[in-house]
Every structure is written in structure tokens, then in C-alpha cells.
Structure 1
Amino acid sequence: MQEIKMYNDTPATDKRMLDVAVGPHFRLGTGLASIYQRWVIALLPAMAASLYYFGPAALRVFSLCVGFSVIIDLVAEKLAPSRDLTSNWSSVSLALLLAFMLPVNAPWWLILIGCFFMVVVGKKFFGGVGAYPAQPAVLAVAVLQLSWPARMDYTGALKDLDWPVTMIEPLRLLKSLGASAESHYNWLDLLIGRQVAGTAEGMVLFLLVGGLFLLMLREIQWQAPAGFFIGVFATAGIFHLYAPTQFASPLFYLLSGGTVFMGLFLLTDHTNSPVNKLPLFLYGLLAGILLIFIRGYSKHVDGMVFAVLLAGLAAPLLDMIKPKVKGAENV
């Protein structure tokens, strides 16, 4: 048998042995900081629109969220050092997501509590980026909505705004008037964010621009948003056909509240969403179905955060659906 020369000059006589010498592999230098910086860039169009509509009130919410989150992250890192460094920009990105879902008149103490739950309980407690079981910003908003529902009232926050539009949340009016609530809103107003919602979660057109930016850079996968929007349209369409006087058209559900924000920025969180393509699509589909059920049959006006949390519980199970390995049929 012919002798085989290994990379370390050790002779071998078994032809089945493989040379495992280190090769000139290419290394991609993309870090967490650059990823989250792109997310921040993607949020800028909606932030700019919010600043245009609400002025200093929106700037105050954005600034307090980012400031509180970074400071809390720094303190937590000093007290309990971990791999989740403050310099990875995750706290900035999460802070902006939280700010988008807060009312423009949120008091400083409510923002502080939300940032604490988001950074310490939602992120740091579980090991940071890549380890937390629930989207931290969504978890924080859920806690705030259940603990201080009056303070999280978007309609009350914008009651003094001089806007020539219906000054009540579209989904709230839908619960009161049924499908006839659609006639009180202009589709263009809903599209460009002239509606009662969170600080920036209702800036539909500008969120679409940011989401397209992330899709083009492949920072997020298209399967989850596609499954989500299909789930929203299909479920809302079925409900509308079943009870046309109670449920609005699918387009109304899509443009109202934080639907687009949820599909493009909350469900696509790298830590909570599944990995493979089919699980990603099913994850989005499930979230879309849950969102319409919550909006239609619960006391919650929007229910976005609860749909995200429930769908996230199913993500590990969905990831058990693995792609078939090709070429191993005879192994």
C-alpha cells in the first residue's frame, strides 16, 4: 500500500484519511456593531417622519430611550461583565424600536422602566444578543401596557394635536363602529403616518423604505415578512367575508397601527426568529394569523406585541423542521 504524506510529515498508510491542514479561508469581518448600525439606518426614515409630525416631543422620546438604554447597558456590563458588550450597538437599535412603540407624551419614568426591562430583564439576564428568548423591546412594551395602560394610550397622547384627521386610533374605532370605521380614514393618511399610533410605528411608507433597505442588504430574510403579510391578508380576508360589518378589509388592517412595523422590524429579530427558510415563513404566517385573531377577539386594541411574543414561543419548534440533506441518500 502506498504511503500517504500528511501535512505534519507524519506517515499514514490508510487511504481513507483526510488532510485537514488549515487552508487560506476567507473571513468576513462583519460584526454585530455594523449589523445594528444598519438597523438604525433603516429606522431613520420613519424617525424623520415622526420628527416632522411631532417635533420636539418625538425627539424627546428617541433621546431618552437611547440615553437610558446605553447607560443601563454600561452599568449592567460593569456589574456583570459578559460577551454582550455595549459597543455592539444592540442597545441603541432596541431603544429605537422601543421608542417607536411608545406614546409621544410618555413620561420619563415610564421610558426608564421600559428601558430597564428591555436591557436588563429582556437582554442581559439571558446572556445578551443571541440568547434572549423574547424580543426585548416587545417584552418591555408588553409590561408597560399591562402595568400602566392609561399611560400607553396613543389616543390620549395625541388629543391636543392639530391634525385634520380622525383623532382616534383606527383599530380602536374599528372595535366601536365595526367595518364602518374605514370610512372615517383616508388611505393616503394611513400610508404616510397621519394616524394616531405610537411615536413612529404608524409611519407605514417610511417603514417600508427602511425594510426594503434591510432586505436589499440581506440583513433580514424575506420569508418571515412574506409569511406574515400573507397571514394578515388571508385571515383578515376570511374574517371580512364571514362578518363584513364587524371586520374591516385586509388593507385597513395592514395600514393601521404597527402592522408593517411588526412584519419588518419585530419579527425579523435575528435572535428570536427561526433560522431555516420554511420555518421562517411559517413563523411569519403564524404571527399574522395571531395578530388578526387578537385584534378581532380580544380587548387589546392592537395586540401587536402579544402576537410577536406568542409566535416567538413557537420559533424553536418550527426550527426543528430542517431541510433535507442532498447527496446523503445512500449513507
Structure 2
Amino acid sequence: MKELKMYQPARPTDAGMLDVAVGPHCRIGNGLALIHQRWLLALLPAMAGSCYLFGPAALRVFGLSVCFAIALDLLAERLAPSRDLTSNWSSVTLALMLAFMLPLNAPWWLILMGCFFMVVVGKKLFGGVGGYPAQPAVLSIAILQLSWPGRMDNTGALKDMDWQVALVEPLRLLKSIGASAESHYQWIDLLLGRQVAGTADGMVLLLLLGGLFLLVLREIQWQLPAGFFIGLLTTASLLHLSDPEAFASPLFYLLSGGTVFMAFFLITDHTTSPVNRVPMFCYGILAGVLLMLIRGYSQHVDGIVYAVLLGNLCSPLLDMIKPTVKGAEDV
């Protein structure tokens, strides 16, 4: 009598393993490193424009920011290993965005402190990319502005520039003398970045080109900048109509300061922005409205930092707006 043997299926080798996950099974192949490298390409035109206008001073801010950010990321990874690896290039992208908002004459220790607040406090302590609740570069700038307001003065940083433009921040002059400040600036100067701002966040045209590059590659969704511009221009128009002597035209607010930088690079952060399309559009509108209210009724000159942070706080609430699943009404 033959002995009955139980059937045992062959164990698949590692090469023959099947990946089982919730469908659809679609692999694009984009990793974090590739995504951040594309963001770096989008930032390059504004970097080049800043170096052309300001020379080695701008290159110093960019170089120190990147070096300090990478060193702090490597140190944090060595002390507390995580899945947020230095090789994903996120710290490089964030370092450049931080440098864009720093004044041109920022001392080395201020840049180091900014990178520490950004990499260690804003990113690593929350688990890295995908985990932080606030955009790390913006959070770092907010801390620097509150801690060392004198060192974060863009007007003082550019007071020795030999330009044929008003050497004062457009929005600062607007708060001082009202809507007549528009007459002190040419639209072409504001568009080409010949204005008092951060190291590169005032390069309006070049930042716009970088943002369009990200839109074409679908690295950011159009609902975010579109909602932002609608919210900003609508609020600016209403304020201008209510008090034309105190509030400038919507176009002046659009071209001044870091407005375009906020629209394409700050509110579009993948970790802090909503996931679904309708929340994205609402998030953009909210950010635009908040920016205009802060510029119009607060003591802050630009306001992009606090508008972004307030928008980040609302992002989880907006993501609760979800599409209805058809056929599951009775479930």
C-alpha cells in the first residue's frame, strides 16, 4: 500500500515573487529623488537670474544653504536612522527654497540656524518627507523672522545696490504711503526681479517659467496655483474697490514680493497640500485670500510665510472633502 503524501506547493523564489497590492497595478517609476531633481530644474532659472543681478553674494547664500542642509541631514540620519534618506534630494530642494527667502546679506550663522530649523525641526522630527505638517522652509523662515527680525530685513540687505529703481520693498512702501507707491515702480522691473525682495523669491518671470515647467511635467496640479491666483486677485480687487487710496491694484500685489514663488513652489508641496482635486482648489483659494488679508491688515510686509503656514493647518480639514462613491449610498 502506497503511503499518501500531502501536496505541498513549491515555494517561490525571490525572483518569482508576485507583488500583491490594491489595484490598479500601475508603476510610473518616479522616485523621490527624480521628483526633487525636477523641482531643482524648475528653480534653476530664478537662481541664475539672482546670480546675474546680485553676483557672488547670491551664490554664497545658495551654496551655504545647500551645504549646511546636506550636512545636517547626514548627521540626523546617522543619529536617528529613518526612511527619509539624504539621497532623496529633498533637503537640497528645501535648502534652495529657504535661500530664496533669505536676505542677500544673511550671515553664515543665520543660514546655519535656518537649515537646522528646516531639516532637523521641520522635517526629521516629523519623520521626513510625507510626515511633516508644515512646509519646512517656510517654518524655518517664520522662526528666523520672529527670532532675528533685524537680520531678516530685505531692504537693508539691498540698500547699497546701484539700481535705477526704488530701493525699498514695494509692499513696505505701499504700507507707508498707500496706493501711490505704485507710481514708484515699473511693471517690467517687478516682472524681471529688479525689486527689493529675498535672494530669489522676487524673480517673478523666471519663477513663472519654473512653475510652468512643473505643470507640464505634472509634478504639481494646476488646481493649486489656479485657486491661489483666483483667491488673491479677487480679494485684491475687492479691497482696491473699497479703498483705492490704501490698496494698490491687483496686478501690483501679483508682481510684488514672493507671490509667484508661493503659488508654484510653497503651497504645492506634496506633503502639506491636499490630495484630492476639489480640496486642492479650495486650498489655493484659501491661501490667496489669507495672503491678501495679511498684506492688507497686518504689520507684516509680505505675509507669504504666515499665509502658507495657516493654509498648511487647514489642509487636513480640506482633505475631508471626498468624492461620493456611486452605488454605495446604502452601505
**Could you say which TM-score interval applies, normalised by the shorter chain?**
over 0.9
Partner of 2:67: 67
CA RMSD, 1 decimal? 1.7
Q: Is 1:272 aligned to 2:266, yes or no? A: no
Separation in 2, partners of 1:286, 1:215 = 20
Partner of 1:208: 208
Q: How does 1:19-98 map to 2 (within 5 A)?
A: 25-98=25-98
Partner of 1:309: 309
Partner of 1:15: none
Partner of 1:171: 171
Q: CA deviation at 1:290?
A: 0.5
1:162–1:320: structure 2 CA closer, same or farther, 3 Å change rule? same
Separation in 1, partners of 2:284, 2:151 = 30
Separation in 2, partners of 1:177, 1:285 = 28
1:35–1:313: structure 2 CA closer, same or farther, 3 Å change rule? same
TM-score calculated relative to the size of structure 1: 0.92
Partner of 1:138: 138
Q: CA deviation at 1:221?
A: 0.4
User: Unmatched 5+ residue regions in structure 2?
Assistant: 1-7, 10-19
Separation in 2, partners of 1:177, 1:38 = 41
Partner of 1:14: none
1:104–1:328: structure 2 CA closer, same or farther, 3 Å change rule? same
Separation in 2, partners of 1:67, 1:56 = 16
TM-score calculated relative to the size of structure 2: 0.92
Q: Is 1:291 aligned to 2:291, yes or no? A: yes
Q: CA deviation at 1:324?
A: 1.6
Separation in 2, partners of 1:304, 1:23 = 39
Partner of 1:148: 148
Separation in 1, partners of 2:101, 2:246 = 26
Q: CA deviation at 1:94?
A: 0.2
Partner of 1:4: none
Partner of 2:12: none
Separation in 1, partners of 2:86, 2:224 = 28
Question: What is the number of equivalent residue pairs in this alignment?
Answer: 314
Partner of 2:188: 188
User: Unmatched 5+ residue regions in structure 1?
Assistant: 1-7, 10-19
1:82–1:148: structure 2 CA closer, same or farther, 3 Å change rule? same
Separation in 2, partners of 1:252, 1:26 = 45
1:21–1:100: structure 2 CA closer, same or farther, 3 Å change rule? closer
Q: Deviations over 1:73-112 (max 9, x none)?
A: 0000000000000000000000000000001100000000
Separation in 1, partners of 2:206, 2:257 = 14
Q: Deviations over 1:113-148 (max 9, x none)?
A: 000000000000000000000000000000001111
Q: CA deviation at 1:330?
A: 6.5
Q: Is 1:257 aligned to 2:254, yes or no? A: no
Q: Is 1:247 aligned to 2:241, yes or no? A: no
Q: CA deviation at 1:27?
A: 2.4
